[in-house]
Structure 1
């Protein structure tokens, strides 16, 4: 073979090395370059490495968020106790949205007023009319989603120090049952937080409504049971005792032995007392407000009956009774009746005083007796027969205070029920319905 040809062959451009190396450190030849120009499918490890770590973090965060929202959506509506629902919500919402201030407000019966029932942070208002809400917050009540607002001196939130806030109405069955507010002390983008708050509000609205419905069912069931007991007392116990009394009267008239007549007379007297007690029990079970009798007249009627049937003198000062709607009036009456009857039965006192006072937009009812007070061994909330009072005060948003013994004394018990009031167009006081009943 010609040596010159061989030499030329070695220096041929097709065999000349390129002045760069590949990743293995070997020279890259044109043929190798063309082959390496192809895109080979990456291995599984390379695919995992190439995925953006930020995307993984975002997906993980979104997954955790969905799980949390699912948990709220499942657990909140399943609880039928309003207090439990509110406690769960105010504990979980700050973790979900990272808010500094979380406020839950419930609407009254006709959704004209909102009352703060739970809060974390430093929200100032306790109760506000919807018409008095700042326009940017009131707007949330008209929407089916959350809104985000940059707050300022002109556009304030529920907390003075808040710089941004997200607000969403609580809805159920097409009605506004409340409002949830999340506010931050440092400005930030709230796009994600508003989406989360909307999901929370959907579940919380249903849960609040369920609790209201269950409360109404329970209350109606209690009323139905009272009527059933009253009916049984009248039809069975009352009728039976009346028959026994008549038979004793007949035996007394037909008996000639004086000693036997004395014994029959004694028994007849006891039956008469029991029959009177049964009739009073029937009155206590059946008495209530209707559209024809005012709260004042009903209280006066019970006071006079208690005075006439026992050694307890009941006095009342009710000149300052605010205007109340039928529902709230009936609940207040049930509280007053329960407190009066408890004092009559348990206090061993001789006087019960009922008072009504309106001061500083607050209506306070008081039922005070001069009895033995609540004994230390009976200081449980349900020991003095006040379970019904506690439950009803809670449902209408009233503050209940039980003082025993009386201040600066060693006897007596005082029950105070306080509710917020406002002035109507005529200048008269009317109760602010904080019961959030629908």
Structure 2
């Protein structure tokens, strides 16, 4: 379910675009075909750009090779589109040339994928690989458009030629070999990359087999084949985008969170009396935020803020922070600066700015008597209002050198007594009903 929610927009696009094209295609097949081909060309460019731009970080030769393959597939698809019968960009009086470009592009794709799968562990030499594909593409274009040595693939009134039909089965056979080779080398490919590529090959095979059924360019099997082709391109896009963007970003996010957790643990090492405090308040804060109805995408910032709620105390002298006796007025003034120190520290990082509400505002009070900004009521950010109750609850529930932990009844009475004074009354009620009782 979470996977569906996270990829909701992509799933909608994947369903909406083909459905829209089919509706249009039932009335105007040429528009349908043009839309599909433009989609494939754009996806090819995105695949190429993503794989090339992220190679310096991923160092993944396989996805870079895929980028090269689909860039030149996009070039051949462009010629297939512009020579398609009825487009009238070139003086074309037969579907043959466009069909030739289609067959040539699929031979190119199948053979290149087989090579990529076979030499998947070999570091790619970027310039030679690109030049070989560029030369191959140029030869294909010349053989079809200028020298006309490429075999005839379609005859008007008769349909596909034997060369075309046999070629489709040969292409499918090579694609199956590619799939088998990829499967044997699957340990060399990340799971998020392996599955989309295999799925893309399956879609391509089904598309080519579907294309063997039609007699004319404007018949329904042709439409089904193009929809499968869209799915094949989109699968490869998802592979390259996941490997080059999604996975590295996720790893970076994990690294950030581990760093934040490290800061939190460092603070606890400095003050052994509060060991385990951060873990407890984070858990309770997240539970209370969920019960309040905070959106899922905001919970991650609340979690980070809860972890870093006392980060500003690194600016407080040990003589004040660890003093067992009562603090003087001057010492309290220094202690009250720790939210400001937290703000100064965290506001320099764009990544942590969304998490700053708890470290900066969790000592504000509902009646406006808190610090550092003397905010009141709902002017206090909701994350800070939620955390304020949790922080007090955990402090009172834990032993301190100067007192024993309070009983459950004492804590409940204390929190109720401060409802509307220190705490948001609505959150006090929710805390006592949903969280504390559990």
Return the TM-score normalized by structure 1.
Answer: 0.24
Higher fraction of strand: 1
Greater CA radius of gyration, 1 or 2?
1
Higher fraction of helix: 2
